[in-house]
């Protein structure tokens, strides 16, 4: 789908914060409509494809906007920290790797059950990986939350915490009557890596997400988390459907393979990259200096380039849903 003229004008002429706001709103509008379980794989793939032109713009004429990403976008970690200041009982459910693609199942499922719902798009850390997000919240790493072992210096003070990769029904027994909870669940990130093998990819994950996010067990967990608490459902990062990306040219592919192997970010900040517009960017963030793959590019690598990945610079791997739920009285 061609990027609309108003958005192109924003990208080219507006201040970075205004441009990024418009970019995220447009991505939300593409991904937000209800999905149907019978054709979810085709629908999700079509929505992903509809944002390909926007990623092309952001890796060609609009690539410099990525230099302003951290300063211009509300990071999920900061949004959570600000929201945590409210005096009422609160809970956070972090679904690791949840992207805008899966948000409709939660949004419309919550509305059907009478929840008050508000939602917006927030930004991942640079790089868009798990550990930078954990550190932004004051945790050393994701596993620090297991069995309430988190230090008392993190930014979500007073929370009972856990980090699991269990079926939803088994998570119910974890959630007690404590007033404040943070539950970090490793799905769908664990499946992103499982479905990254050649021959699998976005369609398989979309089908599984439809099943898991419409299941009675998932909504029993939501009911438990909202018992006396307001709830935010969000993620540490999104992901790229990299199996659908275009192949880089031969010379670009050689460079990308040497620097990134099969990944989307690298600690190599010295290798030369002579193309303009660039195929990768070195950015300095609060997490240090990294090199990132820019846009929707893939290349041949040992075992085949992964069909799902995160850590690079494309809209759906750097955007997270931030969904607030309040249980009806």
Pairing, β 297-298 against β 319-326: unpaired
Assigned token pair, 123? 């930004």
> What pLDDT is attached to residue 199?
87
> What pLDDT is attached to residue 198?
86
The per-residue pLDDT for range 229-250, each reduced to its tens digit, is 999 999 999 999 999 999 999 9
The answer to whether 298 and 242 have CB atoms below 8 angstroms apart is yes
> What pLDDT is attached to residue 248?
96
> What pLDDT is attached to residue 89?
96
The per-residue pLDDT for range 310-324, each reduced to its tens digit, is 999 999 999 999 999
Average pLDDT, the chain: 96
Report the pLDDT averaged over residues 105-124.
98
pTM of the model: 0.97
For residue 302, pLDDT over 90 is answered with no
DSSP string, 193-255: HHTTSTT-SHHHHHHHHHHHHTSHHHHHHHHHHTTTSEEEEE-S---B-GGGSEEPPHHHHHH
> What pLDDT is attached to residue 272?
81
238-262 residues labelled b (16+ CB within 10 A) or e (exposed): bbbbbbbbeebeeebbebbbebbeb
The per-residue pLDDT for range 33-65, each reduced to its tens digit, is 999 999 999 999 999 999 999 999 999 999 999
Tell me the pLDDT band of 273, cut-offs 50, 70 and 90.
confident
Most confident of 141-155, 264-278, 281-295: 281-295
DSSP string, 93-105: EEETT--TTTHHH
The answer to whether 201 and 244 have CB atoms below 8 angstroms apart is yes
In terms of CATH architecture, what is 75-329?
3-Layer(aba) Sandwich (3.40)
Assigned token pair, 77? 């970690």
């Amino acid at each position: 789908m061609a990027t609309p003229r108003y958005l192109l004008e924003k990208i080219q002429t507006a201040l970075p914060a205004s441009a990024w706001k418009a970019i995220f709103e447009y991505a939300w509008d593409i991904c937000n409509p209800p999905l149907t379980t019978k054709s979810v794989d085709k629908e999700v793939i079509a929505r992903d494809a509809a944002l390909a032109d926007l990623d092309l713009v952001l890796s060609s004429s609009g690539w410099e906007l990525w230099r302003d990403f951290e300063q211009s976008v509300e990071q999920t970690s900061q949004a959570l920290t600000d929201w945590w200041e409210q005096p009422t009982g609160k809970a956070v459910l972090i679904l690791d790797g949840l992207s805008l693609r899966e948000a409709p199942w939660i949004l419309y499922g919550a509305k059907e059950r009478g929840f008050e719902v508000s939602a917006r798009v927030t930004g991942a850390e640079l790089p868009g990986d798990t550990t930078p997000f954990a550190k932004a919240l004051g945790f050393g790493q994701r596993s620090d939350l297991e069995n309430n072992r988190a230090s008392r210096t993190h930014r979500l003070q007073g929370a009972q915490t856990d980090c699991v990769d269990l079926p939803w029904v088994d998570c119910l027994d974890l959630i007690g009557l404590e007033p404040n909870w943070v539950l970090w669940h490793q799905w769908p990130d664990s499946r992103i890596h499982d479905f990254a093998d050649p021959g699998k990819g976005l369609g398989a994950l979309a089908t599984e997400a439809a099943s898991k996010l419409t299941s009675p067990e998932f909504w029993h967990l939501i009911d438990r988390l909202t018992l006396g608490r307001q709830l935010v459902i969000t993620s540490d990062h999104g992901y790229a459907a990299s199996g659908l990306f275009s192949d880089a040219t031969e010379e670009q592919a050689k460079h990308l393979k040497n620097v990134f192997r099969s990944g989307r970010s690298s600690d190599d900040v010295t290798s030369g990259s002579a193309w303009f517009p660039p195929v990768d960017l070195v950015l300095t963030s609060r997490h240090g200096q990294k090199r990132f793959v820019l846009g929707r590019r893939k290349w041949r690598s040992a075992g085949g380039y992964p069909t799902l990945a995160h850590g690079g610079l494309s809209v759906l791997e750097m955007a997270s849903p931030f969904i607030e739920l309040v249980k009806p009285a």
